[in-house]
Amino acid sequence: MKKDLRKVNLQDLESWLKEKNEPKFRAKQIMEWLWQKSVTDINAMTNLSQKLRETLSEVFEINAVVTYKSQFSTDGTIKSGFKLHDNHLVEGVLIPTETRMTACISSQVGCSLTCKFCATGYMKRERNLDAAEIYDQVVLIKNQAQEHFNAPLTNIVYMGMGEPLLNYEAMLKSVEYITSPLGLNWSPKRITVSTAGIAKMIKKLGDDGVKFNLALSLHAANDEKRNQIMPINESNSLKNLAEALNYFYQKTGNTITFEYIVFHGFNDSLDDAGDLLKFWKKVPAKVNIIEYNPISEAEFKNAEKDKIDEFAAFLEKNRVNVHIRRSRGKDIDAACGQLAIKET
């Protein structure tokens, strides 16, 4: 069995090269090929000798993610199915606007959190992605932005399939590969990691001094309603989440966003907006109001436009920084909450 070259760290690679009587600096060259230039073929590492490339290929392989299929929305959104080396599939989305090119990427195959409104939540969690598999999605979507829009990727959101904080180490490692000068050299301020709300892991983000932004999938600002749609809330109450988010903010100063899907007849009243306002007063955050994107597994409906506007206006009147996010890619099941592998 060959070992995945991208799972070897710099020090171990230096030791391996020393055993082969190769100079130490070759390890850094290899790392640059992997993480700066994103090559997935050892033979493409042209500043290595042919002999070293052959030796590397005898021992190592690169388990690259490949695009399985892509769907194109009428609004320009591109949803891709990505095939992993073991034939599992995940989905990622390129969301183009006039000012941004955003990659929405996955961190797990399936999900274990069973949120009632999310298509991924009805899938079985098969496994976590490794850091390279997360990184590969960014590279593939970055290439799509160049190919289809002649524009660079500007933002990355960990809002695809899975719960990033339940794949903590790989998620952090992938951010390192994306932001490191030896990697893609991105600013972490252009990266947002979204969580359904795992208090102890939010605190760990603070302890680890992460530089990226954090989004909480809130969707209800009282425990009774949130328990109904997000079972994770039963062990991570809003009180505990507020405490953890404040801890994160005190440690990092990074932006926190509340994501709030407005469901017809469930959480769309002014009383619900009042609950959200009370929670907002406990945590320094901005609020994204999100249209609901129907899925076949659930009976939720999107709130009417005037209800959404009224909800947002109430928050704005109370000095909340609020933004209504209109759905993108709904016609190809690429919008928020719709990601699930469907064979066509």
Q: Which residues are catalytic?
A: 91, 336
Please report, for residues 87, 148, 211, 295, 300, the alpha-carbon distance to residue 118 in angstroms, rounded to integers and kept in the order given: 23, 29, 28, 7, 10
In sequence order, the 6+-apart residues with CB closer than 8 A to the CB of 325 are: 288, 289, 290, 291, 336
Separation between Cα atoms, residue 29 and residue 292, nearest integer Å: 47
Q: What is the DSSP letter of 302?
A: B
Number of residues assigned to the chain: 344
Rounded-to-integer distance, Cα 156 and Cα 330, Å: 19
Question: Sign of the CA dihedral 290, 186, 78, 41?
Answer: negative
Nearest Cα neighbor of 319 from 289, 281, 283 is: 281
**Shortest CA distance to 190 belongs to which of 93, 237, 255, 131?**
255
Contacts of 213 (CB under 8 A, 6+ apart): 189, 191, 192, 193, 254, 255, 256, 257
Contact 303, 263 (CB under 8 A): yes
Beta bridge partners of 262: 291
Alpha-carbon distance of 175 to 131, in angstroms, equals 8
Residue with tokens 């893609």: 184
Distance of CA 339 to the CA centre of its chain: 12
Angle of helix 168-179 relative to helix 131-149, nearest 10 degrees?
50
